[in-house]
């Protein structure tokens, strides 16, 4: 197999001393993702997908994927009319979206509501009360609070859940920034409906579908490009969904009416929780996990997702400080600042071009290192940020390549939502390097489905109503 083509990597005129270069290589070398490692990651991922697809429940339990039937079969066809609402809960920002369709063209209005830290770690009822009040506020701003007709609502709920019906799930675990002590084992739709009743009484909404953000992003991506068959989130967390032929789903128990496909939620952020990625986990990933909100789980997304990338970069920098390679061994506040170097900081560092170091210096200012940093320090910080970022992009693209090959079409568009993909200046190109090599028989396009996870929730509400009319089984 040919080599993975290398992106034009950082080109600064700063040349590190031989000794520093060797020490830097000694830290980055062991965490380099070689072709061999990539192939092993892909094989492990493929196996998890197959195990999760088994008809035998005991085999499925061995997988750390869910490959969950979402019951969503209908994609948009350009004839849509009317108003639909979407909710998007998964990160710190909660969104309410109104989509007004006219002859298939969607006009979208979005409003963001910020969840406080107390809410994220308090009782689940508090989260759902917040959602109910936000919907009420949103409807008021849109003049819809007294709508006579109930507005169909799609709910993006981005946590691993068992899907029992189009509008019924069971939450398996909270992830990312959510640490509510309860809610697990409960249905998010029932919790939402109870909160609406408790807090707002007669909101004119009808929750017709609940889904993962990957699913709503796929719906939104497919609205932009009919070749979009895969939805991917590269945000705080990571996950993917794809359109699967019913005839290829061994464990399928639904009807086989048209449309003979369904969206499947892979739920892949947890790949590796069963140890299948132990062969390539670095000390940095293990340390990050130890201090994370949910230790021992969501192994895969902890290698690159937005909640973690900054901390991974920081841990590598701390090692270099300890080795005396950076800041003459005195890294000041950076050494103790767990989670304080964010993925936004990494994106900013990565936005410095050529010899410019303005953005890198601005990030270092947070840690009072901007005035002491030498040109060599700045070059090393930039190189580490790039190395860890490209490493992450390669890892996630490798497993997406498995999915693309599984979908087995000449051309596939992946609709992507999430700030990591949207804002990081090198993620897209680094991912494309992998598709070029590992999915040579498919033309892969990556498109940004911006805010797709909110907008797509409203789109899925359209699917739900259509399916009801056609009598497609939805549970
Ligand atoms: C969750 C997924 C979600 C992904 C992206 C993960 O932590 O488990 O359900 O799709 O984040 O938001």
Q: Which of 174, 219, 237 to mutate to test the pocket of ligand 1 (most atoms within 8 A of CB)?
A: 237
Residues in contact with 134: Cβ distance below 8 Å, sequence separation at least 6, in sequence order: 94, 96, 111, 113
Q: Which residues are catalytic?
A: 176, 213
77 neighbors 104 (Cβ within 8 angstroms): yes
269, 237 in Cβ contact below 8 A? yes
Burial 414-445 (b: 16+ CB within 10 A, else e): bbbbbbbbbbbebbbebbbbbbebbbeebebb
Atom 9 in ligand 1: which residue has the minimum CA distance?
A: 159
The span from the CA of 50 to the CA of 184, in Å, is 26
The pick from 176, 177, 230, 303 for probing ligand 1's pocket by mutation, whose C-beta has the most ligand atoms within 8 angstroms, reads: 176
Q: CB–CB of 133/39 below 8 Å?
A: no
pLDDT at 262 exceeding the cut of 70: yes
Predicted pLDDT of residue 153: 98
Specify burial of residue 81 (Cβ count, 10 A radius: 0-12, 13-18, 19+). Answer: exposed
Q: Contact 345/370 with Cβ under 8 angstroms?
A: no
Q: Whose CA is nearest to atom 6 of ligand 1?
A: 237
User: Is 50 exceeded by the pLDDT of residue 386?
Assistant: yes
pLDDT score for 7 = 64
348: Cα separation from own chain's centroid:
20
User: Among positive and negative, which fits the CA dihedral 22, 25, 30, 36?
Assistant: negative
What digits encode the pLDDT tens for the residues 391-423?
999 999 999 999 999 999 999 999 999 999 999
Average pLDDT of span 100-119: 96
114 three-class SS: strand
Q: How far apart are CA 168 and CA 110, in angstroms?
A: 25
Confidence label for 161 from pLDDT (cuts 50, 70 and 90): very high
pLDDT tens digit sequence for 113-159:
999 999 999 999 999 999 999 999 999 999 999 999 999 999 999 99
Closest atom, ligand 1, to C-alpha of 159 = 9
Protein residues whose CB sits closer than 6 Å to any atom of ligand 1: 90, 158-160, 175-176, 212-214, 233, 235, 237-239, 267, 269, 298, 301
In total, the chain counts a number of residues equal to 475
The tens digit of pLDDT for each residue in 26-42 reads: 999 999 999 999 999 99
pLDDT of the residue at 202: 83
Asked whether 14 and 376 are in contact (CB, 8 A), the reply is: yes
CB neighbour burial string for 114-144, b if at least 16 within 10 angstroms, e if fewer: ebeeebbebebbbbbbbbbbbbbebbeebeb
The model's pLDDT over 319-330, given as tens digits with 9 standing for 90+, comes to 999 999 999 999
């Amino acid at each position: 197999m040919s080599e993975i083509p290398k992106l034009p990597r950082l080109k600064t005129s700063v040349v590190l001393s031989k000794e520093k270069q060797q020490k830097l290589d000694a830290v980055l070398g062991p965490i380099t993702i070689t072709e061999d490692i990539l192939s092993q990651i892909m094989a492990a991922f493929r196996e998890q997908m197959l195990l999760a697809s088994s008809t035998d429940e005991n085999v499925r339990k061995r997988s750390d994927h869910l490959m969950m039937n979402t019951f969503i079969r209908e994609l948009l066809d350009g004839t849509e009319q009317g108003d639909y609402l979407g909710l998007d809960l998964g990160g710190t920002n909660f969104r309410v979206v109104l989509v007004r369709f006219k002859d298939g063209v969607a006009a979208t209005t979005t409003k963001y509501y910020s969840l406080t830290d107390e809410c994220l770690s308090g009782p689940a009822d508090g989260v759902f009360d917040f959602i109910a009040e936000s919907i009420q506020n949103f409807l008021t701003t849109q003049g819809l609070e007294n709508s006579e007709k109930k507005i169909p609502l799609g709910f993006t709920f981005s946590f691993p859940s068992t899907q029992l019906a189009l509008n019924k799930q069971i939450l398996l675990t909270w992830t990312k920034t959510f640490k509510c002590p309860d809610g697990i084992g409960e249905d998010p739709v029932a919790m939402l409906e109870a909160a609406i009743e408790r807090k707002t009484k007669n909101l004119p909404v009808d929750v017709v579908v609940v889904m993962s953000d990957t699913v709503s992003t796929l719906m939104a991506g497919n609205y932009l490009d009919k070749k979009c068959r895969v939805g991917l989130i590269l945000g705080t967390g990571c996950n993917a969904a794809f359109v699967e032929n019913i005839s290829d789903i061994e464990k399928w128990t639904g009807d086989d009416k048209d449309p003979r496909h369904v969206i499947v939620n892979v739920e892949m952020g947890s790949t590796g929780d069963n140890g299948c990625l132990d062969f390539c986990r670095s000390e940095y990933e293990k340390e990050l996990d130890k201090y994370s909100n949910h230790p021992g789980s969501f192994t895969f997304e902890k290698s690159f997702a937005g909640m973690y990338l900054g901390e991974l970069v920081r841990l590598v920098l701390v090692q270099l400080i300890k080795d005396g390679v950076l800041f003459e061994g005195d890294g000041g506040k950076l050494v103790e600042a767990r989670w304080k170097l964010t993925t936004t900081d990494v994106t900013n560092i990565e936005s410095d071009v050529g010899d410019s170091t303005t953005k890198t210096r601005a990030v270092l200012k947070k840690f009072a290192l901007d005035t002491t940093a030498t040109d060599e320090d700045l070059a090393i910080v930039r190189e580490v940020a790039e190395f860890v970022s490209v490493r992450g992009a390669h890892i996630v693209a490798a497993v997406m390549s498995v999915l693309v090959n599984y979908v087995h079409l000449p051309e596939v568009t992946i609709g992507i939502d999430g700030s990591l993909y949207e804002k990081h200046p090198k993620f897209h190109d680094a991912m494309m390097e992998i598709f070029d090599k590992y999915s040579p028989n498919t033309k892969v396009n990556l498109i940004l489905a911006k805010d797709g996870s909110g907008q797509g929730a409203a789109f899925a509400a359209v699917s739900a109503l259509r399916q009801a009319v056609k009598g497609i089984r939805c549970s």
